[in-house]
């Protein structure tokens, strides 16, 4: 598509789907973001997060200048201080006394420079990325099976298959555009079967022909059982196995020991035997089978074995490297794959090379370095342990928030506190991690950066800027290169990301000769015009290709793998119990993950009122059987406590949970809530091969929290509620929304509220009401007839609907009757209370939708879409629409 000069073609900075975007001015001083129809990942589609990117561009909470020991300074001062401190620590304690902790949010060019600097010039491999937390088990599993970290297929395979197995992946919420592609493929071909394997009944199950709610942690048994069953029933592809694989016998023997029969597997996994048989039969009889897996598989203390248990089944059936077939790992982050390519995991070198002697030598010669790291460095969890013990004394955190996202986050915070010198580069001025920094460096944000990213299907895309760099903010590659110059290193004289990309491409092809999967030789030497206009391309792109810029969608099409023998390896796996088992003291198993409309630690999505409208408060979801047993009711506050600590969140009761399990989202942190950073509770057991932590299995207990009062505030101005035991803040429309609770009722609610809202004694338009019988207090402030803020407090946690009140803030003048209703907390019949947002794209709320089902006879998502538009843009809410329709019809039947 030809674009006019005002449109910039770029990519989404959120998940590993890697959607292409078109960004253009909206004519009102902002930007509108559309899906790029020409991008192979999304063909024009976007999810709710991508669509709301335009709402996240404000500079109000940005870090715009370097800050050293709390004082703003210039770049030269900042980098001289950093280089001085790193140099003196290296001189006294050696290179392993310093470390970088980086991120899948970085562009490949930033990542490349960070890795080159640490491994090639500082001489330590202590650089690890937060992708360790996301998909390092897939990397390790790929390397064990294929001899290389290669994703075999592409997204089209998910549409071309006849059986799609989604395991450990809530695709509907975590990779929404990919999910929409699957939904559409299934609409076109209803015979395409979908099996979802997940302990929870997630929104992804909306399209499932079969849901297997397995016992958490039993995936290896399930797929080991499948391997045994396929072999015993003669479904192996003998020709492929003999010619292209090795180690089948030992793998089968091991699987036969732990998964001897279908009955035994069903019992161990806690699933219905008939359903398991259906799955095994479908897998056996469907040639075009894809198994997609994600964090539910990777984030486990036996994640690598789970990955290999899946790959084993595809090798036995020869289903790899062909259209519509293969194991397929979907990454969480936008550039997790780019990090893998440049070696930003501490146990890898650049360009998919390892610490083998000839790889170290080759890269050292290419970089002109005689100080190469020659052994793996610390993986993320080990790195923070080494900081806590004092072995690592200087740490540089780039574009990530480990104080929130690492397991046992309390210990990570204590390590950051102890760290002798902590540098944090980030675009935000306040994050939980930034609070510990000695040196804060302002980095560019999405919309300002230039470089490349690689998505889950090995597709490299350009990210291009459409905004000027604000304040003193700089690109991460520039910051690192200048730091290298201050350290006295040669080889970092880059003036543009193109210089770095070209070097990265050249290194990938250097002495490669087809021995390494990752080869961008065909992209070496692009000029600026070619680089800026680079169309999305699947690597490898070799210089020997027929067309210089042609990539490769599918790997292993010739049955040749990157092991020494050229054959794929069956990997013998043995199921292990999780790192820590539940016990009577901690009887529930905590699972953590994402929600639909938030991203990571909310630094960006938390700015979007539209996205906050879906779920604005951190929660713990429990099965009704557990909530009854524990006397916890919907909407109550609960503590979730493990042996490491506790958090305080809102209870949600849902049959989607498996009894005995509890789910808490990963996003909230100390910037948005009093105590809801779930990783403070999560244990730090790791996979022995990949080092990936076990985020999906921590034994906990849940207890109802008894407050003396509960309340909320809606205000046009922010307030400070941080002294309260429970607070959550969210941007909603043009308002600040706070949920609050306390241990002790105030002696005078009027004084308490006036102080909280910072009202003056002569505040002239303030109305309030106190009902002592019900311990209910309500107050509202008006300026020029408009509602400025309102406060609701009660001895009970059931409070008036917030969305109705938010509607009152839209009015230029609040009538007398509305004031009375406001104080009574009861919406009138004519008041609009659309309820919590279900469709973020068109801001359609739950109450509006329930009314449409009950009173307008709209009983399918399609009918609702026609009348209310809900679900017709990104489609992320369609599973919730279907559930809402079912629930509303069921309750109408019982009324």
CB 161 within 8 A of CB 288: yes
15 or 622: CB nearest ligand SF4: 15
Candidate list 39, 49, 352, 701; residue touching ligand SF4; CB under 6 A: 49
- Separation CA 640–CA 625 (nearest Å): 17
Of 833, 810, 803, nearest in space to 730 by CA: 803
Cα-based distances in Å from 637 to 185, 441, 588, 671? 41, 38, 17, 19
**704 beta partners:** 638
What is the contact mask toward ligand SF4 in residues 459 to 498, using x (rule: CB under 6 A)? ----------------------------------------
Residue 813 burial (CB count, 10 A)? 10
Token pair for residue 220?
């290896």
**Span interacting with ligand SF4, options 7-15, 192-200, 759-767, 777-785, rule CB under 6 A:** 7-15
Tell me how far, at minimum, the Cβ of 58 lies from ligand SF4, in Å: 19
Between 364 and 593, whose beta carbon lies closer to ligand SF4? 593
Q: Report the C-alpha gap between 198 and 214 in whole angstroms.
A: 6
> CB of 14: closest distance to ligand SF4 in angstroms?
3
- By the 10 Å C-beta count (0-12 exposed, 13-18 middle, 19+ buried), 1 is classed as exposed
Q: Find the shortest distance in angstroms from Cβ 604 to ligand SF4.
A: 11
Question: Nearest to ligand SF4 by Cβ — which residue?
Answer: 50
* Helical (H) or strand (E) element with 18: none
CA 838 distance to own-chain centroid = 20
Verify binding: residue 17, ligand SF4, rule CB under 6 A: yes
Q: Which stretch binds ligand SF4 (CB under 6 A): 175-183, 573-581, 692-700, 830-838?
A: 175-183
Q: What is the DSSP secondary structure assignment for residue 148, as one 8-state letter?
A: S
Out of 7, 10, 14, 607, point to the residue binding ligand SF4 (CB under 6 A). 14
Q: In the chain, what are the helix, strand and coil shares in percent, each to the nearest 5?
A: 35, 20, 45
Q: What is the DSSP string of 699-767?
A: EEEEEE---SEEEEEEESS----TTSSEEEEEEETTEEEEEEEESS--S-HHHHHHHHTT--TT-SSEE
Backbone angles phi, psi at 774, to 5 degrees: -105, 10
- Rounded to the nearest whole angstrom, what is the least distance from the CB of residue 313 to ligand SF4 in the complex? 28
Near ligand SF4 in 628-687, by CB under 6 A: none
Query: Considering only residues 8, 12, 248, 353, which one is a binding residue for ligand SF4 as defined by CB under 6 A?
Result: 12
Task: List the x/- string, 526-555, binding to ligand SF4 by CB under 6 A.
Answer: ------------------------------
Cα(75)–Cα(344) distance, rounded to whole angstroms?
25
Cβ proximity to ligand SF4: between 175 and 449 the closer is 175
Give the range of 44-52, 362-370, 588-596, 776-784 binding ligand SF4 by CB under 6 A: 44-52
Q: How far is the CB of 22 from ligand SF4 (least distance, A)?
A: 12
Closest approach, Cβ 453 to ligand SF4, in A, equals 10
Closer residue to ligand SF4, CB minimum distance, 176 or 497: 176
Q: Which is nearer to ligand SF4, 12 or 135 (CB)?
A: 12
Q: How far apart are CA 684 and CA 413, in angstroms?
A: 14
Q: DSSP per residue over 598-636, as a string?
A: --TTSTTGGG-HHHHTT--S-EEEE-HHHHHHTT--TT-
Instruction: Tell the smallest beta-carbon distance from residue 703 to ligand SF4 (Å).
Output: 35
Cβ proximity to ligand SF4, 15 vs 487, nearer residue: 15
CA angle 547, 551, 552 (to 5 degrees): 125
Residue with smaller CB distance to ligand SF4, 19 or 336: 19
- The stretch near ligand SF4 (CB under 6 A) out of 16-24, 68-76, 646-654, 745-753 is 16-24
Smaller CB distance to ligand SF4: residue 236 or 339? Answer: 339
Of the candidate residues 7, 78, 140, 177, the single one contacting ligand SF4 (CB under 6 A): 177
Q: Strand pairing of 709-715 and 98-102?
A: unpaired
Q: How far is the CB of 447 from ligand SF4 (least distance, A)?
A: 14
Decide whether 18 or 364 has the Cβ nearer to ligand SF4: 18
Contacting ligand SF4 within 327-386 (CB under 6 A): none
Residue 619: phi, psi to the nearest 5? -145, 165
Per CB under 6 A, does 18 bind ligand SF4? yes
Query: Among residues 42 and 433, whose Cβ is nearest to ligand SF4?
Result: 42
Measured from the CB atom, the residue of 15 and 864 that comes closer to ligand SF4 is 15
Site for ligand SF4 in 719-758 (CB under 6 A): none
Q: Which is nearer to ligand SF4, 175 or 701 (CB)?
A: 175
| Closest distance of CB 174 from ligand SF4, Å | 8
Residue of 22, 23, 46, 453 interacting with ligand SF4 (CB under 6 A): 46
CA distance 439 to 294: 35
Copy the structure tokens of residue 865. 């879409």
18 vs 168, which CB is nearer to ligand SF4? Answer: 18
Alpha carbons 819 and 194: distance in angstroms, whole number: 53
If the CB atoms of residues 43 and 288 are measured against ligand SF4, the closer one turns out to be 43
How far apart, in whole angstroms, are the C-alpha atoms of residue 868 and residue 839?
A: 10
Which CB, 612 or 789, lies closer to ligand SF4? 612
Closest CA relative to residue 196, chosen from 179, 214, 208, 178:
208
Structure tokens that stand for 857 in this block: 């006879």
| Span of 170-178, 423-431, 549-557, 693-701 interacting with ligand SF4 by CB under 6 A | 170-178
* Binding flags for ligand SF4, 50-89, as an x/- string (CB under 6 A): x---------------------------------------
The β-bridge relationship of strands 661-665 and 289-293 is unpaired
Rounded to the nearest whole angstrom, what is the least distance from the CB of residue 620 to ligand SF4 in the complex? 25
Cβ closer to ligand SF4: 42 or 308?
A: 42
Q: How far apart are CA 748 and CA 330, in angstroms?
A: 54
Asked if residue 640 lies in contact with residue 702, where contact means CB atoms within 8 angstroms, the answer is: yes
Measured CA angle at 349 (ends 112, 124), to 5 deg: 85
**Binding span for ligand SF4 by CB under 6 A among 41-49, 113-121, 483-491, 661-669:** 41-49
Respond yes or no on whether the N-terminal peptide bond of residue 328 is cis (omega within 30° of 0).
no
Min dist. Cβ of residue 596 to ligand SF4 (A) = 10
Identify which of residues 16 and 199 has a Cβ nearer to ligand SF4 in the complex: 16
Indicate whether 292 belongs to the interface with ligand SF4 (CB under 6 A). no
# binding residues, ligand SF4 (CB under 6 A)? 14
Phi-psi region of 147 (alpha: psi -120 to 50; beta: other; left: phi over 0): left
- Bridge-based pairing of strands 193-197 and 163-167 is parallel
Q: Which stretch binds ligand SF4 (CB under 6 A): 47-55, 244-252, 269-277, 686-694?
A: 47-55
In the complex with ligand SF4, the residue whose CB is nearer, 19 or 678, is: 19
Instruction: Out of 15, 83, 313, 741, name the contact with ligand SF4 by CB under 6 A.
Output: 15
CA distances from 784 to 713, 759, 774, 812, 862 (A): 20, 16, 32, 9, 44
Please report the DSSP string for 453-517 in residue order. EE-TTSEEEEE---SPPPTT-B-HHHHHHHHHHHHT-SS---SSHHHHHHHHHHHHHTT-TTSSS
Give me the residues that bind ligand SF4 (CB under 6 A), please.
12, 14-15, 17-19, 42, 46-47, 49-50, 175-177
């Amino acid at each position: 598509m030809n674009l006019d000069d005002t449109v910039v073609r770029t990519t989404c900075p959120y998940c590993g789907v890697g959607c292409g975007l078109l960004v253009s001015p909206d004519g009102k001083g902002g930007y509108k973001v559309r899906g790029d129809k020409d991008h192979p990942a999304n063909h024009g589609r976007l999810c709710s997060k991508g669509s709301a990117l335009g709402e996240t561009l404000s500079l109000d909470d940005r870090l715009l200048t370097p800050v050293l020991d709390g004082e703003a300074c210039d770049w030269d001062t900042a980098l001289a201080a950093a280089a001085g401190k790193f140099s003196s620590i290296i001189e006294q304690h050696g290179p392993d006394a310093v470390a970088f902790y980086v991120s899948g949010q970085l562009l490949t060019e930033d990542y490349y420079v960070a890795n080159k600097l640490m491994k090639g010039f500082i001489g330590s491999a202590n650089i690890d990325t937060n992708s360790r937390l996301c998909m390092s088990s897939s990397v390790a599993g790929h390397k064990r099976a294929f001899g290389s970290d290669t994703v075999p297929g592409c997204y089209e395979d998910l549409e071309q298959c006849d059986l799609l197995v989604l395991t450990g992946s809530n695709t509907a919420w975590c990779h929404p555009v990919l999910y929409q592609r699957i939904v559409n493929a299934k609409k076109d071909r209803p015979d395409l079967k979908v099996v979802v394997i997940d302990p929870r009944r997630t929104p992804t199950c909306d399209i499932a022909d079969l849901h297997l709610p397995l016992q958490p942690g039993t995936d290896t048994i399930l797929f080991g059982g499948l391997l045994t069953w396929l072999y015993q029933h003669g479904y192996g592809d003998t020709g492929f196995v003999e010619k292209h694989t090795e180690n089948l016998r030992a793998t089968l023997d091991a699987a036969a020991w732990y998964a001897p029969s279908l009955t035994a597997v069903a019992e161990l996994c806690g699933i219905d035997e008939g359903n398991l048989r259906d799955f095994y039969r479908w897998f056996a009889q469907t040639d075009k089978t894809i198994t997609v897996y994600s964090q539910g598989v990777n984030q486990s203390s036996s994640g690598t074995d789970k990955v290999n248990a899946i790959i084993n089944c595809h090798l036995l059936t020869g289903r790899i490297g062909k259209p519509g077939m293969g194991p397929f790992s979907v990454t969480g982050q936008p550039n997790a794959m780019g990090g893998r390519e440049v070696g930003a995991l501490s146990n890898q070198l650049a360009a998919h090379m390892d610490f083998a002697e000839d790889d170290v030598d080759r890269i050292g010669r290419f970089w002109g370095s005689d100080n190469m790291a020659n052994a793996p460095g610390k993986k993320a969890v080990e790195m923070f342990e080494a900081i806590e013990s004092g072995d690592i004394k200087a740490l540089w955190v780039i574009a990530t928030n480990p104080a929130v996202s690492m397991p046992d986050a309390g210990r990570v915070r204590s390590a950051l506190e102890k760290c002798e010198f902590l540098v944090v580069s980030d675009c935000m001025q306040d994050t939980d991690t930034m609070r510990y920094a000695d040196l804060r460096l302002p980095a560019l944000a999405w919309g300002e950066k230039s470089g490349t990213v690689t998505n889950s299907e090995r597709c490299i895309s350009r990210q291009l800027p459409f905004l000027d760099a604000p304040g003193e903010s700089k690109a991460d590659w520039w910051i690192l290169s200048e730091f290298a110059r201050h350290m006295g290193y040669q080889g970092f004289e880059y003036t543009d990301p193109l210089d770095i990309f070209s070097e990265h491409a050249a290194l990938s092809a250097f002495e490669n000769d087809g021995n390494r999967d990752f080869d961008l030789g065909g992209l070496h030497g692009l000029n600026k015009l070619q680089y800026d206009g680079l169309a999305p391309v699947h690597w490898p792109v070799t210089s020997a290709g027929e067309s210089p810029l042609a990539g490769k969608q599918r790997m292993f099409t010739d049955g040749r793998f990157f092991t020494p023998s050229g054959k794929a390896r069956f990997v013998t796996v043995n199921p292990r119990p999780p790192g820590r088992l539940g016990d009577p003291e901690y009887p529930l198993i905590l699972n953590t993950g994402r929600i639909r409309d938030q991203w990571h630690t909310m630094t960006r999505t938390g700015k979007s009122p539209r996205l906050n409208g879906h779920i604005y408060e951190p929660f713990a979801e429990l099965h009704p059987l557990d909530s009854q047993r524990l006397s916890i009711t919907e909407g109550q506050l609960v503590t979730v406590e493990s042996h490491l600590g506790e958090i305080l969140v809102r209870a949600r009761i849902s049959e989607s949970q498996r009894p005995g399990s509890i789910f808490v989202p990963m996003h909230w942190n100390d910037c948005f809530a009093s105590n809801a950073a779930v990783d403070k509770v999560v244990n730090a057991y790791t996979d022995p091969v990949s080092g990936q932590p076990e985020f999906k299995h921590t034994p906990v207990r849940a207890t109802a929290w008894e407050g003396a009062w509960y309340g909320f505030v809606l205000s046009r101005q922010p307030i400070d509620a941080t002294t309260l035991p429970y607070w959550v803040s969210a941007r909603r429309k043009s308002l600040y929304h706070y949920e609050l609770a306390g241990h002790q009722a105030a002696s005078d609610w009027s004084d308490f509220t006036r102080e909280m809202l910072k009202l003056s004694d002569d505040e002239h338009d303030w109305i309030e009401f106190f009902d002592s019988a019900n311990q209910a207090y309500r107050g509202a402030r008006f300026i020029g007839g408009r509602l400025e803020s309102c406060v609701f407090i009660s001895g009970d946690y059931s409070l008036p609907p917030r969305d109705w009140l938010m509607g009152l803030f839209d009015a230029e003048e609040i009538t007398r009757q509305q004031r009375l209703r406001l104080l009574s907390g009861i919406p009138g019949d004519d008041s609009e209370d659309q309820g919590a947002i279900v469709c973020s794209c068109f801001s359609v709320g739950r109450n509006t939708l329930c009314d449409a089902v009950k009173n307008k006879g709209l009983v399918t998502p399609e009918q609702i879409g026609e009348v209310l538009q809900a679900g017709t843009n990104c489609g992320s809410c369609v599973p919730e629409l279907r559930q809402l329709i079912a629930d509303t019809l069921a309750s109408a039947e019982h009324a």
